[in-house]
Structure 1
Amino acid sequence: MTGVWALLAFVGVIVFWNAVVKRNIGEAMAIGFVAVCGFALVGGVAGGSAWHSIGEAVLDAMQEEVTFAGLAFVFMSYLLTRTPVLDRLIDLLNSGLGRLRGGSVYTATVAGGAFGAIAHVGAAVTAAVGSVTVPWMKRSGVKPELAATVVAGGAGMGVSFPFSATMFILVGGLAAQGVMQPDEIVAPLALAGLWCLGYRIVLVWYLVRRNGIEPMSRADLLPLRQSLRTGWTSLLLFLPILVPLLLTRGPVAEALGTYSGVGEQLKKPVVLSDGTALAAQPYAMPDVISLVTWIPVLMIALVLVLGRRHLPRTAAGWRTTIAGAAPSFGVIGITIVAAFSASNVLADLGLAGQLKQVLTGLDAPAWLMAVAIGVIVVATAVPLTASATMAAIGPVAVVALVGAGIPAPVAAAAVLIFASTEGASPPSGAPIYVASGIARVDPVKTFLPLLRYYCLPILGLGVLIAVGVLPV
């Protein structure tokens, strides 16, 4: 059971270094990987040298397409914060929803979903959306603590939609263990994210009526024609997601694959981590057009075009801009590489087979397993970020759900929904303090509302997704 003990040490080191020592998750992940390497050096790995296994694990992690994609999305998010593109998108949403009773709250929620689907960083979602919508909500008569609660509660949508760094960390570990391929998570997670957004909209409807919130002041509204004239180009931000999806799935992808002859060639047989060999399958369009590679590339290109007037025009300006993004690159990059590397070494330690032995001793129905895994993930996400939670226990949580008979993509989507509660999990969620600072309210006043309206209900949604009540 060396792999299981190595996993426990990996999780323990991450939690201790990040939550107790208060160091960043990049450091925690690196030290956790060193701990896993210690088990490999002492206990050995199956079929080879421990040092060779460690070297190959790091090399494979650095060559993963999801490593590139994760860093590319970090850079794209950073560029977006330096342009008014998303502000114009929020103006558009406000023009359409602000005339409704509680329209400012609906705007905050829908904008959180839109921003989360693009930028994915919880604190960034809260800051970008909250800086505009919190003052509007307060001017509309919304209590400051409720305004902060709504904005912080929307931060998790950065995780509950593709293609966040958290998603890359999870699917990288699963791919390394042969559980599933990265592209398999896209559709289930997108649908799961829509379920979560739908719940938030229903919640807003309830909160608006409970708190007697009225429509926004006319002075705070731009006419729809004006917001469309000045900000219609912000709607193009969804094209870099739609175009690769259309080219890899559906009738367009099928026609393109037939024309190009992609399906006439066979891939090499796949050997899973437990030694199981799968029969060779024909290539498909997702095999030749990678979503996780092309979406961030196209998104960056579009942001460069849409925000060109607000971005540097000299080499010195770009050096300063890239230098500003460097700290985020460092933390996310180390986190992803360390997570993938640790997953590779854990696979060489026989973790998959050992977990299979442990799981066969459990005789719990799928719904009970989903509840137990959900509680564990949510509890872990209290002291840690969603990314750290997925790096520490994400792949194991998915494997446990798969062992209970839940399909791997559905299980992965449910686990990410569980982890998306990080922003609404007091007392350590960073979005809580960002939203409270903008609203100028004591953060403690948001703790119980966040638990009642967001954390526990989202946990319930994840369970319903896992057991198939909410289809994805």
Structure 2
Amino acid sequence: MAKVDDLLGQNNEGIEDSGEVLTYKRTFAGWQKNFIYWFAIIMSLFHLWINTIGVMPEIQRNAMHFGFVVFLGYLFYPMRKKWADKTLWLDIILAVLSMAAAVYLVLFEDALHARNEVPILRDLIFAGLAVILMLEVTRRTTGWLIPALAGFFISYALFLGKVFLGVWSFSGVTIERLLYRMYFAPDGLFGTIATISSTFVFLFVLFAAFLLKSGAGEFIIKLAVSLLGHTTGGPAKMAVFASGFMGSISGSAVANTVGTGSITIPMMKRMGFKPQFAGGVETAASTGGQLMPPIMGAGAFIMAQWTQISYLKIIGVAFIPAVMYFLSVAFFIHLRAKKKGLKPLPKEDLPKVTEVLKEGWNFFIPIGVLMYFLIKGNTPTYAASMGIISIVIASWFNKGTRMGPKDILDALALGAQNMVSTGVILLCSGIVVGIVLMVGMGIKFSMLISTIAGGSLFITIVLVALASLILGMGLPVTASYIVLAVLAAPSIEMLMLKDHLIANFGLTAQQALDPNIVNNMIGLIPKEVSEGSLLAAHLLIFWYSQDANVTPPVCLAAYTASGIAGSDPLKTGLESWKLAKGLYLIPIMFIYDPAILFQGPLIRTFENIITGTVGLFVFASFFEGYYFRIINWVERIILAVTAVLLFWPERLTNIGGIILVVLMWIYCTKIKAKKTEEIPA
């Protein structure tokens, strides 16, 4: 494997990643480092215990999850970077207060129930403390936007709603009522979102930490080198392959960019790709990692909880669209390499696939165990727990990957520390979701979108895409999905069900777009129709919430990649935006024809997969200006029309698109052959 190590080149170190965001993070040494190490281990062991054999009321478990996450959050993230050393004592106090706010609920929740849910002053003090500490640690971890958004919703519930007119008017609630709902009720700070964070998300983050600690990351890179290194644009295609696997494990585009980009970007540059293109490829590929089963981003677990659609079904229907996305990025790479005449890496310098698989075949066992328990019908938390155990056992099947006690402890500590930023985002999002539900803002927002869009599904999708882009300028991906899902998903679902309601229940178009009427009739709609619309709506928002990573002016993953590539951040962002076009196109495909999500006749599913994939290739050719040869603008316009025909959800237009693809192929290859003959020997 010496040649592989030479190919990988130097790794870019010193880039600090905190999950979904890049921010300054304290480093510790001596006894402080040891304390945090063992505290993180205890945190992971607590979550393993409570999600397997432990018994604790849900709200108390979530409160302890809050205590652990926020405690580490205050220690890791200082008030300001330049004050990191001076304010450590203050942050220790805030960390202890955070744990105290969690323990208080565990100790005194029963006393509140004994008083018939009437809080006393002490209850309200600790409730207010929990909310304030949550907002401040979120500001430190992610910036101002999430706590500002939460602050706006709190103000709306207390007094700001009285200022608004019409449907947006809200009479307000008392501060006592608000604090009770945020602290003690199942729809506040320790509600549904906290449940998802303390169960599914934490265990899968821990699963990923164990997998990476066992050496899976290096194996994935080497496997990508051996499989794709010798192909056209090999190093860039390796980034796509590696990022697909690594991203599905890490669940973070930024972490994925740092982890694989530090290896793949230098290789792409050495092959001849421009730095901004190399950074754009890694960004687009890393963004897709959260779309790839079996371990998708945290939003997928939220989706399963909110829609009550099994996580197994979600990853089952999400697999094909995710593969199509990665193919769309690979198409851009292949066409760019052909256009520039870049040569692949020599095969003799690459490891053999059999050698790589011999070294790391055991890494497939945990993924197999995870899928086995999911398919068997076990909960995702149980499947993840079994997967963690299987990682340790599987590591012993290979001499080079065996995990000892120290490796296991390191993985426990790493998982807890990796969870801090994601946990903070999810917990603070719980405040927003709780207030949205309390004031009924979801229905109001759906009515607003329906009014602006005029009942047009396409305009609604455009509005959601714009909203996701704006939110993504300040919100991490998961928070963006949560906000959009709670506000916009009902609108998309209603519009998808509109034709069915009109045709089968005799409703008018206006009645079919009334949230109250639709909600009352959901039970009368066939399950496959209602569930298909619900899943497609949430998947579209989940996909569009990823665009913040690749779309300027604020594209965190692209800026991270530009730092590794040594390229201009804006140019890298523009390249990643172009390469990630599948992120916008594929959701439109499954919204207008959910057959691609296996909702409908199987023959139509295969037709959509084929025509959609060909359409993505044609679309990439249009953008790159290369279709078996360099093409002019007239030919590019023809390709654009061809792509539209292939994407259009009608069999007749799809056939027309395929015919144009073949005719353009014959035409371009003949022209290319003719020009080759004209070149003198």
Q: CA deviation at 1:220?
A: 4.1
Aligned to 2:482: 391
Q: Cα distance 1:331–1:27, how it changes in 2: closer, same or farther (>3 A)?
A: farther
Question: Does residue 145 in structure 1 map to residue 276 in structure 2?
Answer: yes
The correspondence for 2:376, drawn from 221, 240, 247, is: 247
The correspondence for 1:411, drawn from 537, 543, 551, is: 537
Question: Does residue 110 in structure 1 map to residue 241 in structure 2?
Answer: yes
Aligned to 2:323: 194
Q: CA deviation at 1:355?
A: 3.6
Question: Does residue 24 in structure 1 map to residue 112 in structure 2?
Answer: no
* Structure-to-structure mapping, 1:306-455, within 5 angstroms: 306-307=394-395, 309=401, 313-314=405-406, 322-323=412-413, 325-359=415-449, 361-362=451-452, 363-405=454-496, 407-454=533-580
Q: Cα distance 1:44–1:305, how it changes in 2: closer, same or farther (>3 A)?
A: farther
Corresponding residue pairs, total: 405
Q: Report if aligned partners of 2:283, 2:549 keep a CA contact under 8 Å in 1.
A: yes
Q: Cα distance 1:67–1:32, how it changes in 2: closer, same or farther (>3 A)?
A: farther
Q: Report if aligned partners of 1:121, 1:164 keep a CA contact under 8 Å in 2.
A: no
Who wins on radius of gyration, i.e. which is larger?
2
Question: Does residue 238 in structure 1 map to residue 370 in structure 2?
Answer: no
Question: Does residue 460 in structure 1 map to residue 585 in structure 2?
Answer: yes
Distance 1:166 1:115 in 2: 15
Aligned to 1:75: 206
Distance 1:66 1:182 in 2: 17
Residues 51-91 of structure 1 deviation map (CA, whole Å, 9 limit, x = unaligned): 44332123433762454111222233334443421211221
Aligned to 1:119: 250
Distance 1:70 1:99 in 2: 37
Further displaced range: 209-218 or 48-57:
48-57
Q: CA deviation at 1:412?
A: 0.9
The CA RMSD over aligned residues, in Å, is 3.3
Q: CA deviation at 1:150?
A: 0.9
Equivalent AA in structure 1 for residue 358 of structure 2: R
Q: Cα distance 1:205–1:470, how it changes in 2: closer, same or farther (>3 A)?
A: farther
Q: Cα distance 1:306–1:444, how it changes in 2: closer, same or farther (>3 A)?
A: farther
Q: Report if aligned partners of 2:203, 2:385 keep a CA contact under 8 Å in 1.
A: yes
Aligned to 2:334: 205
Q: Cα distance 1:241–1:82, how it changes in 2: closer, same or farther (>3 A)?
A: closer
Distance 1:34 1:168 in 2: 26
Residues 414-451 of structure 1 deviation map (CA, whole Å, 9 limit, x = unaligned): 11111222321234323223323333333343233222
Output the TM-score relative to the length of structure 2. Answer: 0.53
Q: CA deviation at 1:154?
A: 0.9
Aligned to 1:53: 181
Distance 2:589 2:193 in 1: 36
Q: Report if aligned partners of 1:436, 1:442 keep a CA contact under 8 Å in 2.
A: yes
The correspondence for 2:379, drawn from 290, 305, 312, is: 290
* Structure-to-structure mapping, 1:211-290, within 5 angstroms: 211-218=340-347, 220-248=349-377, 289-290=378-379
Q: Cα distance 1:360–1:230, how it changes in 2: closer, same or farther (>3 A)?
A: closer
Residues 129-188 of structure 1 deviation map (CA, whole Å, 9 limit, x = unaligned): 22332233233333333222211111211322344444157527x72xxx5546364333
Specify the SS of the correspondent of 2:496.
coil
Equivalent AA in structure 1 for residue 537 of structure 2: A
Distance 2:194 2:482 in 1: 18
Q: CA deviation at 1:388?
A: 2.7
Q: Report if aligned partners of 2:484, 2:541 keep a CA contact under 8 Å in 1.
A: no
Q: Cα distance 1:98–1:323, how it changes in 2: closer, same or farther (>3 A)?
A: closer
Q: CA deviation at 1:121?
A: 0.9
Distance 1:312 1:429 in 2: 39
Q: Cα distance 1:118–1:353, how it changes in 2: closer, same or farther (>3 A)?
A: same
Distance 1:170 1:111 in 2: 26
Q: Report if aligned partners of 1:45, 1:349 keep a CA contact under 8 Å in 2.
A: no
Further displaced range: 216-225 or 61-70:
61-70
Equivalent AA in structure 2 for residue 246 of structure 1: I
Q: Report if aligned partners of 2:555, 2:573 keep a CA contact under 8 Å in 1.
A: no
Distance 2:417 2:254 in 1: 15
Residues 304-360 of structure 1 deviation map (CA, whole Å, 9 limit, x = unaligned): 34457575624xx76666555555323222222232343233212223443454355
Q: Report if aligned partners of 2:194, 2:427 keep a CA contact under 8 Å in 1.
A: no
Distance 2:394 2:252 in 1: 21
Structure 1 runs of 4+ aligned residues shifted over 6 Å read 317-320
Residues 85-128 of structure 1 deviation map (CA, whole Å, 9 limit, x = unaligned): 12112212321222222222221111111222222111121122
Distance 1:180 1:22 in 2: 31
Task: Give percent identity, aligned residues only.
Answer: 17
Residues 208-248 of structure 1 deviation map (CA, whole Å, 9 limit, x = unaligned): 21222211134641122211211222233431442134324
Q: Report if aligned partners of 1:89, 1:235 keep a CA contact under 8 Å in 2.
A: no
The correspondence for 2:286, drawn from 155, 159, 165, is: 155
Q: Report if aligned partners of 1:25, 1:388 keep a CA contact under 8 Å in 2.
A: no
Q: Report if aligned partners of 1:161, 1:193 keep a CA contact under 8 Å in 2.
A: yes
Specify the SS of the correspondent of 1:242.
helix
